[in-house]
Structure 1
Amino acid sequence: MHLEAARIFTTHADTFLAKDGTKNYILFFYNNMEIRPGGGFIGSFAHIAFERYGLKQFKVYDVYDADGQLNAHIEPPKAIRQILGQPHWFLRDSNFSPDFEQNVKTAEYFLDKELQLDAFDGAIGITTTAMTYMLEAFGDVYVPDFEEVVNKDNFYLKTQAQSENNFFPGSKQKKNYLSSLGKILFLKLDDASPALLAKNLRRAFDEKHIVMFMRDKAFASDIEKLHWSGQTIYPQCATENDNCIINHIFPVDANLGVNKANYFVSKFVHLTSRFQKDGGVSNQLTVSFTNSSAANIFPGGRYINYFQLYLPHNALIESIDIDGAVVDEFDETQSGFFKIIGTPIEVDPQKSSSVNVAYSLNTKAQTGANTYQVVIQKQIGAFNSDFSFEIHFPNNMTVTDQNFKSLAKNNVVGYNSSLSTDKIFVLQFIKE
């Protein structure tokens, strides 16, 4: 993968760095301590331009500067209006899709309306976590404009302190800090450890803490091959088996509590699938959240999460509960290949809470060879979390092959993993 990534970026260097002419890009800084479906709250963004291999422009904007210039009303997604209490939609909340390309197009709409910025050749989303990964290669970085030393261990707290210190919408504190740091890192590239920088950049891309969208079709195609585009994966079978049962799972979180509680929140995902003798399969997905924030004091506090779950379009939702309390009213929509359900879940400091979704798939195992494919997709900007599953088979079904090492006992196949990137599990079995 290292060699393939190097080959791709070398191949497209002339395009990206504007060998002939100028290339313009938009860089979004996603604060994933306040997670949103597309990576995190957009606190700042930058307009970057290259001209004949040189950096022509690196201009950082505070998102409130841009949003303050929006004169038209744009209707926000339902959760933003009802939970966040925001009657209008702004650039800062625009990445409300888990698909990066869709979010780029939405953001460009706002940028055109607010600042008359358009005609970008591509976009990059980078989270706070990715910045800490990259800073490890630079060691201690002195920021003379602020007389501070920044490194991987204090970057988030330093940035947060600067953004909150004497903050008001339209203030220049945060954008100037990020602008100064960004320019210094660019100038100090020769001082960074090349091996460590390459390793940590790849880690950030693989874990979806950096995502890219390019309008050059050849470049975009190669980015997709590396799974670095931040696109939603559409359910399709990885094998050529005629009878393939796909269970595609994509949990998506949106912190709408106006805090940075995700700094303190951990998540665990568990799936149980049970095949019946007639070939039907029922599922129970449990997503547990633990909030280790000390108290209701900023940047921590209560975690107010609009939780969404993307499932195959043919999934039948049987029940939803939060900590055993049945959720009678929840959002349910169809979008392309997916059925999407959504419900708020709140987790107080020093507490845990779980949402449980029971659903079935209308595709059944047939007599003979079958494939069961479980896909769990990771959200852009999400921290690595634990994931486990159990698949229960009746006596008339026998597993013949699988693409992962598992724990198997009494017709139950089990697996434990860390969800650092998208995972695809394929089991082949025979039904008598």
Structure 2
Amino acid sequence: MKKILFILLVSGLILGSLGGGCGWSAAQVARGILGGQLKIKNWELKITRWCFGGLPLVNQLDRLLDNKTYVVLLQNNTELRASGGFMGSYVVLGAKGQGLSDMRVEDIYQPDGQLVGHVDPPAPIQQAFGQGWWKLRDSNWDVDFSVAGEQIAWFFEQGGEKVDGVIAINLSFVNLLLGYLGEVKTVTYDERVTAQNLANLAQTYSEVNKEKRDFLGAVGAALFERIKTIGPMGQIRLIGLIYKELQNGQILIWMKDKDVEQEILEKGWGGGLGNYGGDYLYIVESNLGANKANCCVQRMITQDLQLDEHVIREKLTIKWTNTSEFSDPKPPVFWGGNYVDYLRIILPKSARIQSVMAESKLLVEKPLDYQYGIQDDRYQVEEKDRFKIIGFWAVVLAQQSLTIQASYQLPDANYSSILVKRQPGIESFPYKLIVEGKVVVSDTIDRDKEYTWTK
């Protein structure tokens, strides 16, 4: 497992290792890191820095490997959260001057139980669960991972884990590995694991057999053994696949070291909201129904713009369909159910909200109370840096659909472009942009995309 996960920190290095003496040196360094044999000041590392100094994080290798501890979040995106999914387990990777020194898989509830003191939860978490406190397992809440990563690290440290960096990956990423590598057989469990059955097996071992940590560790070991058999070129193609996931925002990284964190944000790997200067749309869903309903939820988004001389009038329509067979989980064969989603819509800060409707119900602008039980009659608005965030409940019952519409204006806007962001953990969704009654975009959003229109 450690070689699969720590490869995220050296993928840029390996991608650059395809030619000449520079390529040979980079390959040697990468093998040393992954094999725990790297000496920070050896001549291979110096040559690699000289050759590939322009690649991401290459000049930071000393700092990345100097007595550092990284946490890799194993998120289940069939229970969607802001950074991708519910954090059920995690991997701790230790790095010292000789490379990787330690690896262990843990259940998220282990450090959760060590938290001293009390932290008030965000209101939607309190309304969903009514427990009165904020815990590590729900700490990937902020829509900006450069903020959430720091909060996650804080919770881990209160639970006794040293953290120098956080890497968030999803169950869908492990499925991607299985799709590339093929079926694997676990040594300690009599299971043949595939991309098709991993989610159900992981949930069964978690909720029924109570052996989630050991099972995921066994899957990781089996994947590593398979990776060893695919040869150097197969491994390089695998690195390319991982790099693509980074570029598409399905893997997120936060680093405590501010210089390294800044480089990650500049590469677009940090899950930040960015500094885009045009129109902006980012839909963030959080499944607070204590189920895996995102196995069975699809959404489609339509944005309708009317361009007046001094204002852009926009109507945003989101329609979800929940194909869950049952309203509640039926272990061990079905883990979905009603989709209890706290939705946040991120817009430009200048947006003036006109109305929010769920089907035919007009919501009122009013803050959520810190009470148990969801208040689906209202929406709340907050400002964050360059953005305005509309938050409200969107509950999609099993075998039903839900449509919401948000109308707003952008005054004094001279925009002719929009950035549409895709939330980690969501593979894709259909998107349509209508400007002055004309469809100018009909596309699938499988990564962050920018569109322009003519006034």
Q: What is the root-mean-square deviation in Å for CA atoms of aligned residues?
A: 2.3
Spell out, residue by residue over 1:37-61, the C-alpha distance to the aligned partner (whole angstroms, 9 max, x if none): 1221110112111334543211111
1:230 matched residue in structure 2? 271
1:337 to 386, 407, 423: 386
Paired amino acid for 1:261: A
1:346 matched residue in structure 2? 395
Secondary structure of the 1:136 match is: helix
Secondary structure of the 1:198 match is: helix
Q: Which has the higher strand share?
A: 1
The question of whether the paired residues in 2 share the 8 Å contact of 1:91 and 1:107 is answered with yes
- Are positions 1:64 and 2:90 aligned together? no
1:326 to 347, 362, 367: 362
TM-score, length basis structure 1: 0.83
Deviation at 1:12, TM superposition (A): 5.3
Measured in 2, the distance between the counterparts of 1:364 and 1:52 equals 52
User: Alignment identity in percent?
Assistant: 26
- Are positions 1:6 and 2:37 aligned together? no
2:204 matched residue in structure 1? 161
* Equivalent residue runs for 1:66-215 within 5 Å: 66-114=111-159, 116-118=160-162, 120-167=163-210, 173-192=211-230, 193-194=234-235, 196-215=237-256
Measured in 2, the distance between the counterparts of 1:16 and 1:158 equals 38
* Equivalent residue runs for 1:363-374 within 5 Å: 363-365=412-414, 371-374=415-418
The question of whether the paired residues in 1 share the 8 Å contact of 2:15 and 2:239 is answered with no
2:317 matched residue in structure 1? 286
Measured in 2, the distance between the counterparts of 1:121 and 1:60 equals 17
Deviation at 1:196, TM superposition (A): 4.5
- Are positions 1:357 and 2:406 aligned together? yes
1:418 to 424, 441, 444: 444
| Compared CA separation, residues 217 and 112, structure 1 to 2 (3 A) | closer
Q: Which runs of 5+ in 2 are unaligned?
A: 1-10, 17-54, 330-334, 365-377
2:428 matched residue in structure 1? 384
1:45 matched residue in structure 2? 90
TM-score, length basis structure 2: 0.79
Q: Which moved more, 1:205-214 or 1:248-257?
A: 205-214
* Equivalent residue runs for 1:218-297 within 5 Å: 219-236=260-277, 246-276=278-308, 278-297=309-328
Spell out, residue by residue over 1:240-295, the C-alpha distance to the aligned partner (whole angstroms, 9 max, x if none): xxxxxx3211111010111000010011111000012x332100001111101111
Q: Which runs of 5+ in 1 are unaligned?
A: 168-172, 237-245, 366-370, 393-410
Secondary structure of the 2:110 match is: helix
Q: Which moved more, 1:79-88 or 1:302-311?
A: 79-88
Measured in 2, the distance between the counterparts of 1:290 and 1:247 equals 27
Paired amino acid for 1:295: F
1:239 matched residue in structure 2? none
Paired amino acid for 2:229: D
Deviation at 1:324, TM superposition (A): 2.1
| Compared CA separation, residues 53 and 270, structure 1 to 2 (3 A) | farther
Measured in 2, the distance between the counterparts of 1:203 and 1:160 equals 27
Measured in 2, the distance between the counterparts of 1:221 and 1:152 equals 34
Secondary structure of the 2:203 match is: helix
2:337 matched residue in structure 1? 301
Secondary structure of the 2:416 match is: strand
| Compared CA separation, residues 111 and 326, structure 1 to 2 (3 A) | same
Q: Which moved more, 1:179-188 or 1:7-16?
A: 7-16
Measured in 1, the distance between the counterparts of 2:389 and 2:326 equals 33
Measured in 2, the distance between the counterparts of 1:251 and 1:159 equals 28
Measured in 2, the distance between the counterparts of 1:375 and 1:311 equals 10
Q: Which has the higher helix share?
A: 2
| Compared CA separation, residues 34 and 309, structure 1 to 2 (3 A) | same
The question of whether the paired residues in 2 share the 8 Å contact of 1:17 and 1:54 is answered with no
Measured in 2, the distance between the counterparts of 1:227 and 1:9 equals 11
The question of whether the paired residues in 1 share the 8 Å contact of 2:432 and 2:442 is answered with yes
